[in-house]
Chain A
Amino acid sequence: MTVESAPMVSGSLIASRDKAIAQKLIAKRYGAERRFRAYGVAAILFGLVFLIALFGTILARGYTAFVQTAFTLDVNLDQSAFGSSSPPSQSDLMMADYEKLARRALFQALGVDPANKADAKAAQDLLSANADAQLRQAVLADPALVGKSVRVELLAHGNVDSLMKGQFDRSVSESRRKLSDKQLAWLDKAAASGLLGTHFNTGLFTYGASSKPETAGVGVALVGSLYMMLIVLLIAVPLGVAAAVYLEEFAPKNLLTDTIEVNINNLAAVPSIVFGLLGLAIFINFMGIPRSAALVGGLVLALMTLPTIIIATRAAVAAVPPSIREAALGVGASKMQSITHHVLPLAVPGILTGTIIGLAKALGETAPLLMIGMVAFVVDFPKTPLDSATALPVQIYMWATAAERGFVERTAGATLILLAFLIVMNVTAVILRRRYERRW
């Protein structure tokens, strides 16, 4: 068929085809497009459902961890409890029997006769074992209070806390319950009269580990995690950026460089527990750094984050157009000047995003930290990275295995805190990426 005799497609073929066939084809096409869209929406809904279920469960279980039950008592700081000298000496203030003072105040408030031994025992069990320490802290802060009557909030026992949060089952028979009928009666009366109430649980953020849920908090874990994140920043970022810049700009394209690249990509996918084993073998056994120190945790996490930062930096540096490098060289800049003055500043947003995402990942890592022994029961805040510390996800793990009722809500509460950090970090990374995208 020569060019001149072929029919013009736009003129006759499409317009003259069978209408019925055309309709069927069009309907089929629309149907297929609708189904395709529906699959996409269904997939998103599926993911959303699970996401909502996850968050909902944790939120429902954990929100009560942010309030804590306490007795509001008028404690009479009788001079006789603080020794004979006036004003009392420091050792008098430290050694006074605060437990007795607190108990006396409680007995008075609840209307319990101290002579009745059984009653007295039942009543003092309603206070947290830590109540004496709280009272001591208040007096040490202001020694002028001695001899006066002072209103303090003293933590209630974990069982009382569970009762106030509605987690206590009253229908179980008395012998199998943690709180007897008499105790329940006192507590109901105390709650009604305002003696017993809940307040925001700042202790969740400031306390360290404890065997009692009412005095347990993530404070130490937060500080430990902070130390580790700082170490990761100080070690992984400079090393990662330097390695990536070398690989991208200076390394010759040969087999050795290819091998290194493949290995770095693989390291990014290695299970984190392997890094824990590495840390155990090298940092603890070989180098002798104290076990469960934040330094070891930080070093292990830094090694884990290094491949992520290298890969992100390489991508950011490679994304800088070669025309900018050529322009810099053309003006008489050396290769190093072109990299430090032009390429790196333009790659910084990408490096930053990769770093934040790497840090967020490191924040939530538990397995390697378990391997290097950061499962310690740490009560005091670590002062240096060489002191014992723990990390937030590890603390969650430890609380999840604890027996007390109060730890169930604290596990979920600490999970909420961890999730809050992760969400903030990831959202920051996304905002930064959007803001600095394609500035040239």
Chain B
Amino acid sequence: MLNVTSPDVERAVKTGSADATKVTARNVNVFYGEKHALHDVTVDIPDRGVMAFIGPSGCGKSTFLRCINRMNDTIPICRVTGNIKIDGEDIYDPTLDVVQLRARVGMVFQKPNPFPKSIYENVAYGPRIHGLAGSKAELDHIVETSLKRAALWNEVKDRLLDPGTGLSGGQQQRLCIARAVAVGPEVILMDEPCSALDPIATAKVEELIDELKKNFCIIIVTHSMQQAARVSQRTAFFHLGILVEEGATTDIFTNPTDQRTQDYITGRFG
């Protein structure tokens, strides 16, 4: 199923170990104006796996997720302090090109937001602006590979020029995943990707995440603890802007150390 020349396989060969740490965060604080939204978050996120961020509404998990690809930069009153490194490179370094960062760190949003263009154009846009394809044939190949990776190819291969907004919700979200994958990122951030989808579409997307984790570092924010348990290998629990506890998913759900984690998991709040 894997194309031998695809960029992620090359990366696998380069980095070697499948469990190397991909993203490290040290003492990350986020302020929205005066409001202190995230307090001293420190966490290591491994490559080639899924890490889930769970926690009640408004606890800061989406905020932290958006720090990793610097989407918080688009909010003028938002201020981020601390240190986040991907593969040892500080992503808040002033000399770093944010646009390139966002090509390396893809994002899938809560509500599917395909461009109001054709399905082909949706997937081809990223590779085109980053100059990843030398010819139309290469671009076609990238589009096909990405749509196959997103388990959408068979459903849309005959109507690539139809508008992306004409697909069903689940298909649109898979299109967004294909779009994110097309630029060959190393990390994929998913902000509650299934919350707007029905159970069957959710199952399909979770299957997809399972496949993708073999080649990408995936960080998923989810409201559903069952989903976190199904999909992730490591979990981090956030509460009121503090990273309360993080560890292997099975440990967090069966044997949490912090009382707050225990309360959340057993449904006392959230």
Contact = CB atoms under 8 A, between A and B. Distances in A.
Contact of A332 (B102, B114, B115): B102
A328 B71 CA distance: 11
A324 B114 CA distance: 8
B176 A327 contact: yes
A252 interface: yes
Interface string A325-349: 0111111111001000110001000
A332 B97 CA distance: 10
- Which bracket fits the contact residues of A? 20 to 34
B113 A327 contact: yes
Given A324-B115, A324-B116, A439-B116, A332 B165 contact: no
Interface residues of B, number: 26
A330 B109 contact: yes
B71 A330 contact: yes
Contact of B130 (A321, A326, A332, A440): A332
Nearest to B101: A332
Contact of A330 (B76, B100, B107): B107
A323 B111 contact: yes
Interface of A: 252-253, 321, 323-324, 326-334, 337, 341-342, 346, 439-440
A331 B116 contact: no
Given A324-B116, A439-B116, A333 B129 contact: yes
Nearest to A320: B116
Contacts, number: 62
A344 to B, nearest CB: 13
A341 B130 CA distance: 14
Given A326-B109, A327-B176, A332 B116 contact: no
Contact of A323 (B74, B106, B109, B183): B109
Those 8 A-B pairs whose CB atoms lie nearest each other, nearest first? A332-B103, A330-B107, A323-B113, A331-B126, A332-B102, A440-B116, A327-B113, A334-B99
Given A252-B76, A342-B115, A346-B116, A331 B109 contact: no
Contacts of A330: 69, 71, 102, 106-109, 180
Contacts of B111: 323
A331 B74 contact: no
B165 to A, nearest CB: 6
Contact of B99 (A253, A324, A327, A333): A333
9 contacts: A323-B111, A324-B115, A327-B179, A328-B115, A331-B129, A332-B99, A332-B130, A346-B116, A440-B116
Interface string B223-241: 0000000000000000000
